[in-house]
Amino acid sequence: DSGVTQTPKHLITATGQRVTLRCSPRSGDLSVYWYQQSLDQGLQFLIQYYNGEERAKGNILERFSAQQFPDLHSELNLSSLELGDSALYFCASSVGSGVGNTIYFGEGSWLTVV
Amino acid sequence: QKEVEQDPGPLSVPEGAIVSLNCTYSNSAFQYFMWYRQYSRKGPELLMYTYSSGNKEDGRFTAQVDKSSKYISLFIRDSQPSDSATYLCAMSAYSSASKIIFGSGTRLSIRP
């Protein structure tokens, strides 16, 4: 158990809908990351928050947004969903934001868009 | 061409064998190198972290970086069925964790 909690574990939704994925980082970790993992694209970095503020953006679509709350939990909002958004979404956390800090991944949220 | 190339496998070896997993890369600026292990339906977990070139050993695992060839390897000695997983290499040119680029992973199966 990495200590990173993600909900829901699985969800199935229709195209055009909106979903929210939730993440509780490990206790004491200030950095939260969101990744998308699909068979064709591999593990892709979406966005990072550090202590409540957006720190870095990766390949995140405009239809996607995220935030980190004062208690450091984070949400990833996916809207106007398309079939191609079906993937495994990981939240991860680390103490700091440097590459030398171990990044701990949650078990992921499986999103299926039908 | 992807910045990080990794053979997807699957790679199947008998228990006790030495396993060699490899990645090649094109960006000569990469200086931070990592290996992650991902079990089925789980998130990746960091196995090894190496800065710049050289070898690093941790138990049955050895990571090697050859920057001149743009090639990194992970060796697993005395492989066990519990090592069956997907192994992702990862690397970065920057000190920020948000810049880490992951390989697509090699699926490894250890036969009892």
What pLDDT score does B1 carry? Answer: 76
Q: Each residue's pLDDT tens digit in chain B (112 positions)?
A: 789 999 888 999 999 999 999 999 999 999 999 999 999 989 999 999 999 888 999 999 999 999 999 999 999 999 999 999 999 999 999 989 999 999 999 999 999 9
The residue behind tokens 């103490």 is A95
DSSP string across A1-31: --S-EEE-SEEEE-TT--EEEEEEPPTT--E
DSSP label at residue B83? G
DSSP label at residue B98? G
What pLDDT score does A40 carry? Answer: 80
What pLDDT score does A12 carry? Answer: 98
What pLDDT score does B81 carry? Answer: 97
Q: How far is B99 from chain A (nearest CA, A)?
A: 8
Whether residue B97 and residue A94 make contact (CB cut-off 8 A), yes or no, is yes
Residues of B within 8 A of A58 (CB-CB) are 98
Whether residue B97 and residue A4 make contact (CB cut-off 8 A), yes or no, is no
Please, is B52 exposed, middle or buried when counting C-beta atoms within 10 Å of its C-beta (0-12, 13-18, 19+)?
exposed
Q: How does pLDDT run across A76-90, given as a tens digit for each residue?
A: 999 999 999 999 999
Nearest by CB to B98, which of A2, A42, A58?
A58
Which of A4, A29, A99 best tests the B interface by mutation, with the highest count of B CBs <10 A?
A99
Q: How does pLDDT run across A21-44, given as a tens digit for each residue?
A: 999 999 999 999 999 999 888 899
What pLDDT score does B82 carry? Answer: 97
Query: How many C-beta neighbours within 10 Å does residue A24 have?
Result: 19
Q: Which amino acid does the sequence have at B80?
A: Q
What pLDDT score does B80 carry? Answer: 97
The residue behind tokens 């990766």 is A58
Residue pairs spanning A and B at CB distance below 8 A? 64
Whether residue A94 and residue B100 make contact (CB cut-off 8 A), yes or no, is no
What pLDDT score does A100 carry? Answer: 87
Tallying the residues shown for chain B, one arrives at 112
From the list B22, B11, B13, the residue with the least C-alpha distance to B74 is: B22
Residues of A within 8 A of B8 (CB-CB) are none
Q: What does the alpha-carbon distance between residue A70 and residue B94 come to, in Å, rounded to a whole number? A: 28
Q: How does pLDDT run across A55-82, given as a tens digit for each residue?
A: 999 989 999 999 999 999 999 999 999 9
